[in-house]
Amino acid sequence: MSIYLRNKTWWYCITVKGKTHRGSCKTEDESQAKELHDRIRADIWRGRVLGEAQKRGIGEAIDRFLREHRHKKSRRDDERYAEWWKEQFSAAEIRLLEEVTPDVVKDIRDEEVKRVSIASVNRRLAFLRAVMRAAALEWLWTEKAPKFRLLPGEVERRRFLNPAEVERLVRALPTPYADMALLAVSTGLRQSNVFGLKWSEVDLQRRMLVFSGKVMKNGLPFSIPLNETAMSVIRGWVGRTEGYVFEYRGKPVKELSSRLWAAALEKAGLEDLRWHDLRHTWASLMRQSGVGLSDLQELGGWESHEMVQRYAHLDVEHLAPKAAVLDGVLGRPRQASVHILHTV
């Protein structure tokens, strides 16, 4: 029997009709590994030798991937991508794994990039690639994993709103999204933390939100103090909901429809704005108000100093004396500089 240990985990190696299949049994128990080996070998034999390969659905593959990766730090993101792909495949009447071809995915990709950023599209593609690779290499549900090309030209966004634009957006959004957007701008919380905010994470007495590492992107526990704007938002929901802070028609708010968001942007007279830009708005306004980069990093929950460097240029008043040094070199500040430019 072709099973072997690798770092305390059992792996299988099965060869049928000249083709070798290798993969992890994902267990340290030898008897479980043997059972999995026999089952996989039987599936391969029926598929390659007897031609009885079971046709598996893409929805089934997505659900299994979520189950097997439920402990990932990006679990909530994966769940959003999973629902989005299911909707796309359902609209295109794609049911089986074998129907998920590069051409089909390319059509969906090219249409979606008209509405969201290249980075957002690429993250959804990366999730689908992971599902298809697992289906081919781990579960042997399909002969091979198709290759999906990511979009080039991904650039870092620096879109943020000024206070007047924030006010217009909040007024344009319906309940509970208006309060959720205002909380995002006043705290810098990521979308997943705002949408999934629970009362157990709210400490009104200490005016803080306290998150476990399980719900944070970097996997680390995180606490943030609440300013009066954020406090007023949360106080407005006291006694109205249980479990989750924000609800719509008695149910937790899991996502924001693109149609509703687009309508709010049009009403507010805003363009090219995504929910994550509200976090950029918070950081940008904080920086323009004189908050230092180290404090900004701690308040925003960024793991590295490099992540907040994008906001360094927004507060340069402390550099004014440095820039004025050149005045002494060139002579009279304005007139001398003009004279030099004209004589060069």
- Residue 252 and residue 243 in contact, taking contact as beta carbons nearer than 8 Å: yes
- In which element (H, E) is residue 314 found? none
- Residue 151 and residue 113 in contact, taking contact as beta carbons nearer than 8 Å: yes
Average pLDDT over residues 243-269: 91
Hey, which residues does 225 pair with through a beta bridge?
208
204 and 282 in a single domain? The answer is yes
Q: Does the pLDDT value for residue 341 go beyond 70?
A: no
Q: What is the pLDDT of residue 333?
A: 52
252: Cβ contacts below 8 Å, ≥ 6 apart = 195, 196, 243, 244, 246
Going from the C-alpha of 303 to that of each of 100, 220, 312, the distances in angstroms are: 37, 9, 16
Going from the C-alpha of 119 to that of each of 42, 76, 309, the distances in angstroms are: 41, 17, 19
Whether residue 154 lies inside any domain: the answer is no
- Nearest to 156, CA basis, from 11, 277, 10, 329: 277
Q: What is the pLDDT of residue 115?
A: 79
Report the greatest alpha carbon distance in the chain.
Answer: 91
Catalytic residues: 190, 217, 276, 279, 302, 311
Stated pTM of the model: 0.57
Whether residue 342 lies inside any domain: the answer is no
284 and 184 in a single domain? The answer is yes
122 and 183 in a single domain? The answer is no
Confidence of residue 47 (pLDDT cuts 50, 70, 90): low
pLDDT in tens, 93-123: 888 998 999 999 999 998 888 877 788 899 9
The residue range of the domain holding 303 is 163-314
45 and 66 in a single domain? The answer is no
Whether residue 245 lies inside any domain: the answer is yes
